[in-house]
Amino acid sequence: MGMSKVSRKREHQADKERLITGQGLFVDDLCFEQALHVAFVRSTQARATIRVRSVQRAQAYPGVIAVYQAKDLGPLNAPLPLLIPHPAIIDGRTQYPLADEAVFYIGQAIVMIVAENRYIAEDAAELVDIEYQPLPFVVDIEQAIKKEAPCLHPGMTNNIGAHFTQSSGNITAAKQQAEHVTTIIVQMDRATAAPIEPRAVAARFDDSTGELTVWDTAQAPVAVRNGLAALLGIDEHRVRVIAPNVGGGFGQKLLFFYPDELLVPFAAMQLKRPVKFTEDRRENFIASSQERTQRHEITLYASKNGDILGLHDKILHDSGAFMPYGIIVAHVSATSIAGPYRIPHLQVDCDVVYTPTVPVTPYRGCGRPHACFALERALDQLATELAIDPIALRLHNLIRDDEFPYRREGLIFQDGAAVEMDSGQYVLALETLRAAIDVEQFRADQIRALSQGRYIGLGVACYVEGTGIGPYEGAAARVQPITGKIVVSTGVTCQGQDHQTMFSHIVAEQLGVSPHDVILVAGDTQAFDLGGGTYASRSAVVAGSAVYQAARLLREQVCQTAANMLKVSAEDIVLRDGQAYLSDGSVSIPLAAVATSANPLRYAYNTAAKMATQFVKSHHDGPALGNHQSPGLESRAFFSPPRATWGYGAHAVMLEIDPHTGHVDFLRYICIHDCGHVLNKETVRGQILGGIAQGIGGALYESLNIDEKGEIRNASFSQFLMPFAADLPPVELLHLETPTSLNPLGTKGVGEAGCIPVSAAIASAIDNALLPLNIKPVRSSPMLPHSLHQLILGE
């Protein structure tokens, strides 16, 4: 009756070992007969008009098959889609697949070379002759909004592509009531996702059937399929998009379309041969989307006893050269700015600014780390000015348990609904964190360390995370009649989140099977062709709920079919250990036999099929037996959340800083979080720790050095610093579970939670450590050693 439990466990473990040992199947591993390879000629100027003077030498180079310029693309020579329109967008610009007449950032694609291999394509790219006529520009976001700044895009009167104001309550009332006002200006600088696998795309076109198959490192293959069908003029059912193993996404692989995602399939159709493109690491730095640059001027209005009455934030958001994803990052920042605090009056004014740099799209956190950094830095300053303990100030202003759901009327979240924190225990979370810190003992240690010439500090930051947004996700589940295993398919993809473990446990619990007997098929539009994708901490909430509902429907079918076979009521059937039992345990039928009975055929392939013959009177190819609409045991379900559900938490950092070098060492790192009902503790732990690691990288290491010419000066792993495992502290992880009522699993998203408050907590700890030196507080992130050293020196 199939493999033993030990064998199944080994098979499941082998899947993880395959990835760990480098045996996974990634896009670049795909081998096609007669495959062609792509290289791009990319702009060397941040802003210029261009003229491709000659491609003849490249076309004549041995092994080159085709050379494409903008003029060769036909109807595709048009701006790429603006994916998320918004009424606040004044002038939404997107790039052409290949630059036509002008370039707007270093790295923008101008010419595509298709050759017999990548080496030939790269060599030929060097032979393309392009004339640049540089135009004036400014890179700095504050300079870009000045009236005298040169406009990046023709036809615009300034560089502001969008402007919006969101408000809740009445900020004027807060100003009138305030006994104390504090204002700070903070900035979070640009970073990149730097996934372990750069982006890649491969395509094959069958001219005889008109079918296009695309392999893509995509977080949303269904959306890529839909877009390709629309732009290339192919019926949707003839386009298949597959996301195989994907080495990290973090939002960078969510954008569609990158020019190569459209041009590689286009070339495959044109040339009737498979075509592949894998970006190299430098291309990932200079041509794949980035994030983070925001400047906040944030003002808090408060009473003398620490009641925060109002908050006014003025945001400058750097969109880069284009706006492919609309204003989503700035929007999330604006609607997350009040965090978990009870602030009755809010106003956020935001300008989204064009600069001649790589376009900006969501990166893990998507605007939340920016908002958290601004707010928590302002709270620390307010605490200092009011002479209130910073933890006590936060506790005093946190939303109370009896105030949920807590609605910020007037603030509209990215899902189109008002911001409404659905549930939580915010006060308990921070009190639990404070107890774990043992503040009194740390203060004693701090005094002792200072007497030894050592500077140690404590910082705390709280956060919220809007998760589980719609519009929907779906799932299908079926019992295989040969093995009795459960096959689950869904539209969300995995880039390291371990959906297999999470979804298989949901299904196993409903159907009484081992999680190792659940097979997940995802990231393939042929297996499931409806859904949004993996982003915004939504997979567990939205897709997980769809999987749960599909499993529940399948359970009903299994129980009813088994009941028909045994001539009992469905209520008398119990599912466990891969069998359908009578409730008294006297009789059992393997799920494989139940599935075969639901879809009886003439042929008995195995023992399960033979067993099924005991319960049916004839063998035929006719309709399914029992109360089913179709043969077999199969269900399909969709889940659409009513609105976002809000996770939350708090981090504490204890660190030591060397005032002579600016180097930071961690002493302790404590995290408490609440993502509602925890579906799988190890998966949640992995997500939180991964997020914290990424947050530490963003806080202390990772900074894109963009000079006044718009060039990234550290576009390689030898120059772009990232933390090693040895640089990361052990994390003390504490859990709360406050289930939400907004989905059947009671769960909240957790994918971005770990990274959100890290920069804020570290900045707070650095300020606390350096307090005896009476220096300026930290107001920017990342906090690189040289910048901290300059801060200490007063430079």
Q: State whether 655 and 759 are in the same domain.
A: yes
Helices marked H in 108-165 = 118-125, 141-144
Closest CA to 546 of 635, 645, 473, 467: 473
Q: Helices (DSSP H) in 351-498: which residue ranges?
A: 368-386, 390-397, 426-437, 439-451
pLDDT at position 615: 60
Taking a C-beta distance cutoff of 8 angstroms, is the pair 704, 714 a contact?
yes
- Do 677 and 608 reside in the same domain of the chain? no
Q: What is the pLDDT of residue 6?
A: 38
Looking at residue 12, its amino acid is H
- Of the candidates 317, 336, 340, 338, the residue with the CA atom closest to the CA atom of residue 327: 317
The reply to whether 751 falls in a domain is yes
* Residue pair 505/679 in contact by the 8 Å Cβ criterion: yes
The distance of Cα 435 from the centroid of its chain, to the nearest Å, equals 32
Residues 126 and 218 placed together within one structural domain of the fold: yes
- Any residues with CB less than 8 A from the CB of 442 and at least 6 apart, and which? 458, 654
SS3 347: strand
Q: Is 406 helix (H, G, I), strand (E, B) or coil?
A: strand
> What are the Cα distances from residue 404, in Å, to 337, 401, 421, 422?
18, 6, 7, 6
Is 338 a member of any domain? Answer: no
pLDDT lower than 70: segments of the chain: 1-15, 600-630
- What is the pLDDT, as a whole number, of residue 620? 41
Q: Are 636 and 478 in contact (CB under 8 A)?
A: no
Residue-level pLDDT at 626:
47
* CA 441 – CA 187 distance, rounded (Å): 33
Tally Cβ neighbours within 10 Å of residue 576.
12
pLDDT at residue 4, rounded to an integer: 38
Examine the domain organization and report whether 506 and 530 are in the same domain: yes
Last residue of a domain, one of 639, 663, 691: 639
Handedness of CA 277, 283, 286, 292 (dihedral sign): positive
Query: 546 and 630: one domain?
Result: yes
What is the domain range of residue 271? 27-135+196-248+253-287
Q: Which of 364, 225, 373 is nearest to 291 (CA)?
A: 364
665 is a domain residue: yes
Q: Which of 80, 107, 9 is nearest to 320 (CA)?
A: 107
Say if 681 falls within a structural domain. Answer: yes
* Peptide linkage before 405 cis (omega within 30 of 0): yes
Distance CA 383, CA 529 (A): 52
Q: What total of structural domains would you count in the chain? A: 3
Instruction: Tell me: do 611 and 685 sit in the same domain.
Output: no
d(CA 719, CA 538): 34
Q: What is the DSSP string of 229-258?
A: HHHHT--GGGEEEE--S-S--TTTTT-S--
Mark which of 584, 615, 639 sits at the end of a domain.
639
- Say if strands 129-134 and 48-54 run parallel, antiparallel, or are unpaired: antiparallel
How many residues are present in the chain? 795
Residue type, 268: A
Tally the C-alpha atoms within 13 A of residue 785's C-alpha that lie toward its C-beta: 11
Residue 90 lies in a domain: yes
Per the structure block, which two tokens stand in for 446? 């701090």
Task: Answer yes or no: do 35 and 128 share one domain.
Answer: yes
631 token code pair: 């043969």
Q: What are phi and psi of 781, to 5 degrees?
A: -140, 140
3-state SS class at 425 = coil
Helix intervals (H) in 517-590:
544-566
- Tokens representing 778? 């930290």
First-to-last C-alpha distance (Å) of the chain: 74
Q: How far apart are CA 54 and CA 47, in angstroms?
A: 21
**From CA 398, how far away is CA 427, in angstroms rounded?**
6
pTM tops 0.85: yes
Q: For helices 544-566 and 499-511, what crossing angle results, to 10°?
A: 30
Q: Which residues contact 17 (CB under 8 A, 6 or more apart)?
A: 23
The first and second tokens of residue 489, run together, are 């398919």
Q: Which of 612, 639, 666 is the last residue of a domain?
A: 639
Contact by Cβ (8 Å): 127, 58:
yes
Which of 743, 560, 485, 496 lies closest to 638, judged by CA?
743
Whole-angstrom distance, CA of residue 162 vs CA of residue 145: 12
What is the tens place of the pLDDT at every residue in 60-118?
A: 999 999 999 999 999 999 999 999 999 999 999 999 999 999 999 999 999 999 999 99
Which residue matches tokens 């290491």? 701
Same domain, 454 and 477: no
Helix, strand, or coil (residue 111): strand
Q: For position 77, which CATH number holds?
A: 3.90.1170.50
Same domain, 525 and 456: no
Q: Angle at the Cα of 775 (from 773 to 779), degrees rounded to 5?
A: 140
Q: State the DSSP code for 481.
A: T
pLDDT at 607: 66
Distance CA 246, CA 195 (A): 9
Q: Using an 8 Å Cβ cutoff, are 649 and 493 in contact?
A: no
Decide if 363 is inside a domain. no
Does 627 lie in the same domain as 579? yes
In angstroms, how far is CA 461 from the centroid of its own chain? 22
The answer to whether position 344 is within a domain reads: no
Structure tokens at 748: 């909240």
What confidence score (pLDDT) does residue 309 get?
A: 98
Residue 514 lies in a domain: yes
In the numeric block, the tokens 């939205």 are attached to 542
Q: Closest by alpha carbon to 145, among 316, 289, 290, 9?
A: 316
pLDDT tens column, 424-449: 999 999 999 999 999 999 999 999 99
Q: What is the pLDDT of residue 17?
A: 75
Residues 6+ apart with CB under 8 A from 554: 477, 478, 479, 486, 510, 511, 633, 634, 635
What CATH number does the domain containing 456 carry?
3.30.365.10
Query: Could you tell me how far CA 319 lies from the centroid of its own chain?
Result: 18
Distance from C-alpha of 459 to C-alpha of 194, rounded to nearest angstrom: 28
Q: Across-strand partners of 181?
A: 301
How confident is the model at residue 13, as a pLDDT? 53
* CA gap 351, 294 in Å, rounded: 10
pLDDT value, residue 601: 63
Rounded CA-CA distance 357/140 in Å is 10
Between the alpha carbon of residue 544 and those of residues 492, 744, 746, the distances in Å are 10, 9, 11
In the three-class reduction of DSSP (H, G, I as helix; E, B as strand; rest coil), residue 308 is classed as strand
Which residues lie below 8 Å from residue 783, measured CB to CB, with a gap of 6+?
A: 664, 699, 700, 759, 762, 763, 766
Q: Please, are residues 329 and 317 in contact by the beta-carbon 8 Å criterion?
A: yes
Q: Among 372, 254, 318, 201, which residue's Cα sits nearest to residue 704?
A: 318
Looking at the structure, tell me whether residues 710 and 765 fall in a common domain: yes
Residues 654 and 770 in one domain: yes
- Tokens read off for 463: 């956060």
| Orientation of helix 544-566 relative to helix 591-598, angle to 10° | 80
> Cα–Cα distances in Å, from 148 out to 91, 138, 161?
19, 11, 16
